[in-house]
Amino acid sequence: MKSLPAALPKETAEWVRDGLITEAQRAAIVARYPAAADGQSRFVAIIATIGGVLFAVGVSLVIKANWNVLGDWTKIGGLVALLVGAQAAGWKLKVVDRRYEKTGDACLMIGGILFLCGIALVSQVFHLNSRPASGVMLWWFGIAAVPWLVRAKGAQFLSMAALLIWLGMEMGSPDSWISMSRGGRDFGEGAFGIAAVFYLLGLALWCGGIALRETMWSDFSGMHEKWGLFVASGALFQLGFVRHHWEFRRGGSAPPDLATAAACALGGALAVGAGVAAWRSRPAEMRSLLPWVVPPLVPLAGIVVVGPVGDEGWLWSGLAWLTLFVLSIAAVRTGLQTAREGWVNLGLLFLGANIVARYFDLFGEMLEGGVFFIVTGVLVTGLGIFLEKKRRALLAGLRREVAS
């Protein structure tokens, strides 16, 4: 569980917003429990993770150097031994001893990576020609329960990444039941359909993090919220380029088929389920969140279902730009109100990326003369400096407010 000093600034900000305590009472509570040790804990977690990754890379290089002289069963047995050792070390450090929980978390994460290596090794040794997406699905099934049993944050991140990779690969496979490449759709158009579904998956992660806040898995909540915001914003950023694909094809958009509808229904069901759980946990926050996350569904539905409306995709691309801009501003605003620095950083990141991308999108055809390159370089550099100064000022003000 998150330590009391680390959790108080964010939690007490919500208490003030809900009218449970006054701002003066909040300041007194936070001052009484300073979060001095949290930075040390995070530093230890980073060092443990880096050390574990370096160890795994070193073992991989040693095995690679002697790969040809090792027998098949020696390879499999050695990998199984490493996998069992990593998981056993993680269990002992994280669950049994509880003295080096961050190091145990890193060991469990390495064990999850070794499990994927084991799947690839067995497939290579026995020449199994299975679908790559099926291998990733097996990987996710094998590691999905671990973080929920031991509350390992690193293992949960790995499991979350495995789920998203599997769903992305399934939607990109022509033989999948949720393929985005059927019905006359080419790879490019399928990529935009995948981005639309990933916006829904991002919302599911985001709302799932909100629902987890006051549960025994509250350590996962912040990670789910931030990565959900990242996935949703990244997908919306990708949808803003759809007009270029339609303009290149000059044939419009192929109508959605049953597989595309199934993929969208799956993403929508996950988003609605997580949203309902979050609403039951934090109804006030969900009411304030809906005006920012619902409008992007308009360009999403337009791209997947309607297609160009005689403008080669300008309408849906423009709406994707606008809704991403609004969502980024909302993330910064909410992060400042609830003392979430990660939200502020992500909001400013996508705000800057959206502005720069749309600048090149709208004026890219003028990038032929040296003068325009100079002007562009100055503008982009100036924007980066401005956003970085703004980010530091906002976070400094937030920290002063928390400390006061």
The structural domains of the chain, with segments of one domain joined by +, span 174-404
- Closest by CA to 41, choosing from 219, 181, 170, 204, is 219
The more confidently predicted of residues 360 and 194 is 194
> Considering Cα of 196, then 201, then 202, then 206, what sign does the dihedral take?
positive
Q: Which of 23-37, 66-80, 177-191 has the highest mean pLDDT?
A: 66-80
> Binning pLDDT at 50, 70 and 90, where does residue 133 land?
confident
Mean pLDDT, residues 308-337: 86
Residue 382: Cβ-neighbour burial (10 angstroms; 0-12, 13-18, 19+): exposed
Over residues 5-12, mean pLDDT: 66
Token digits of residue 371: 């003068």
Going by pLDDT thresholds of 50, 70 and 90, the confidence category of residue 208 is: very high
Query: For residues 184 and 339, which has the higher predicted lDDT (pLDDT)?
Result: 339
pLDDT digits (tens, 9 = 90+) for 242-272: 887 776 555 556 666 777 788 888 899 999 9
User: Which position has the higher pLDDT, 403 or 393?
Assistant: 393
Residue 273 reports pLDDT greater than 90? yes
pLDDT tens across 342-383, in order? 888 888 889 888 888 887 777 765 555 555 555 666 666 776
What percentage of residues in the chain have a pLDDT greater than 90? 20
- The stretch 330-351 carries a mean pLDDT of 84
Q: What is the pLDDT of residue 46?
A: 63
Give the pLDDT of residue 144.
Answer: 92
Average pLDDT over residues 22-44: 62
pLDDT at 1 > cutoff 50: no
Q: Would you state the pLDDT for residue 105?
A: 85
Map 225-261 to HEC letters. Answer: HHHHHHHHHHHHHHHCCHHHHHHHHCCCCCCCCHHHH
Q: Identify the pLDDT of residue 12.
A: 75
Comparison of pLDDT for 323 and 127, the residue scoring more:
323
Poorest-confidence range of 59-73, 155-169, 275-289, 290-304?
Answer: 59-73
Question: pLDDT at position 149, please?
Answer: 87
Which has more confidence, 276 or 99?
A: 276
Q: What percent of the chain has pLDDT over 70?
A: 75
Spell out the alpha helix ranges (H) of 126-241.
132-143, 145-150, 153-172, 187-211, 221-239
- pLDDT given for residue 37 in this prediction: 43
pLDDT tens digits for range 381-390: 776 676 777 7
**What pLDDT sits at residue 38?**
45
The predicted pLDDT at position 53 comes to 67
Maximum C-alpha span of the chain: 70
Q: What pLDDT, on the 0 to 100 scale, is given for residue 6?
A: 58
Average pLDDT, the chain: 79
Looking at the predicted structure, is the pLDDT value of residue 15 above 90?
no
Per-residue model confidence (pLDDT) at position 320: 93
Q: Which of 87-96, 227-236, 252-261, 284-293 bottoms out in mean pLDDT, i.e. has the lowest?
A: 252-261
